[in-house]
Structure formats: C-alpha cells, structure tokens
Structure 1
Amino acid sequence: MSQSMHREPGGGDPPEPDDPAFPNNPPPDDPPLDPTRPRRDPDVIDPVQPPPNPRAPGTIDLA
C-alpha cells in the first residue's frame, strides 16, 4: 500500500518579489513603470484582425 504526499493548503514559502513567474510584481527598488509604454503582460491577448470582406471590390468568387 502506498501513501500519497499531502500538504495543507496555503503552505510554502512566499514568492520572491522579482520572481519571473510574477511579472507584474516588481521588487520595491525598481523604478515605477512608464504608463505610456506598453507592458509585457502574458495575460493580454493580441487583438485579432477581422476576416476580409468576401464582397469587397476586386475579390474573386471561387464558389
């Protein structure tokens, strides 16, 4: 019979402030972010271009 490892929730060491897994949590000695410069945020999805209009002038109907 084998036993599985069990840990209580909430345990473990707190993450370091400059941990790359938390890019929006800079260390306290970092300069403030420039609000006009885009951030490298992995949660932000690039905008998707709309599909081309099949009825636009100059398109060829292949159907």
Structure 2
Amino acid sequence: MKELKGFKKVKLAPGEEQTVTLTIDQKALSYFDDAKHAWIAEPGKFEALVGSSSRDIKGAVPFELR
C-alpha cells in the first residue's frame, strides 16, 4: 500500500540536479483508532519512495519508526 506523505514541486532544467528535503514525522505515519479514540503510530520498518509520480519511482529510502 502506498500513501502520499509529502511532496515538493521543483522545476529543473535538463541535466540539472537539486537536493530536496522532506520531513516525515510520527504524525504523518499515524492513523486514527476508533476503539481507542486516539491517533496511533505503530513502530516498524517503512520505505520512502522517491519519483516523479507513483508510477515513476526513481529510488527508495528505508527507515524505521521506533
């Protein structure tokens, strides 16, 4: 399952490169638990996919929420 958690639109000339920084915090990884009536962020391993669209993934960055 994929979910959009952040994006930044960047305009580049052909051959140009630019570093883009996005922060994915605990809130972005949380879901609302109806039974507990609270936002929950379960620890685990995740993967941030980087690309120009969901169908054009250029790279992946693994990370862990503890």
TM-score surpassing 0.5?
no
More helix by share: 2
Q: Which has the larger radius of gyration?
A: 1
Q: Under a length normalisation based on structure 1, what TM-score does the superposition of the two structures give? A: 0.15
- The higher relative CO (CA closer than 8 Å, separation ≥ 6) is in 2
